[in-house]
Amino acid sequence: MKLEHAFPCGSPALDFAATLRARRTVRFEMLVSPDRLDAWYVGSGILDAVTPSRESDVERAIEVREAIYELVSARVAGEEYDRAALAVVNGAARKPPATPQLTPSGRWTDATPEEALSTVARHAVELLSGPDVPLMKECGNPECTRVYIDRSRGMRRHWCGMESCGNKLKAQAYRARKKQVQASAAR
């Protein structure tokens, strides 16, 4: 698996929670270093620049990420929130967030790692208390544990993203159908 950040979930909070991939199987950590954390913040579009993170920032980000994932999973399952996870996310959201600035060339947002993490936590608070809650779904790929916002017509989307899970599962289904047709023809 490549070490590239992906943003298919429709929310920075959900994409952040998805930085630990395949939670039920091989668990693939995307936030392996301060540089990777900084790359996620900028790649997600919530910031234009971030003061370089340290290992302690990565540890804190992973703690907040896991709390966000726990709260999202509970919300999707219709279960009560874990109080410890609530405390972690709310604690991060209470910190000052990244503040966009207007420049002659447009908007520019730079932040410290703490401000960046606060911004992600605030996205989680807004998501989990807002109108998109009924649109949250877990990816239909059994190996994937991403939760995404389904804004498709009729809410018929099955995968977090076509490029990752959708194409893979469609190709598997096609091969299975082709194999079945060949087996039937051989009889």
Closest Cα to residue 167, out of 156, 177, 175, 178?
A: 175
Contact assessment for residue 146 and residue 14, using Cβ atoms and an 8 Å cutoff: yes
Better pLDDT: 27 or 84? 84
Contacts within 8 Å (CB) and 24+ apart, 22-30: 22/143, 22/144, 22/145, 23/69, 23/145, 24/142, 24/143, 24/145, 25/143, 28/1, 30/3, 30/5
User: Which range is most confident: 111-125, 138-152, 155-169?
Assistant: 111-125
- β-bridge mates for residue 101, sequence order: 108
> What does CATH list as the number for 12-186?
1.10.3300.10
Is residue 1 very low, low, confident or very high in pLDDT (cuts 50, 70, 90)?
Answer: very low
pLDDT at residue 183, rounded to an integer: 66
What pTM value is reported for the model?
Answer: 0.86
**37: pLDDT strictly greater than 80:** yes
Is the per-residue pLDDT at 173 higher than 60? no
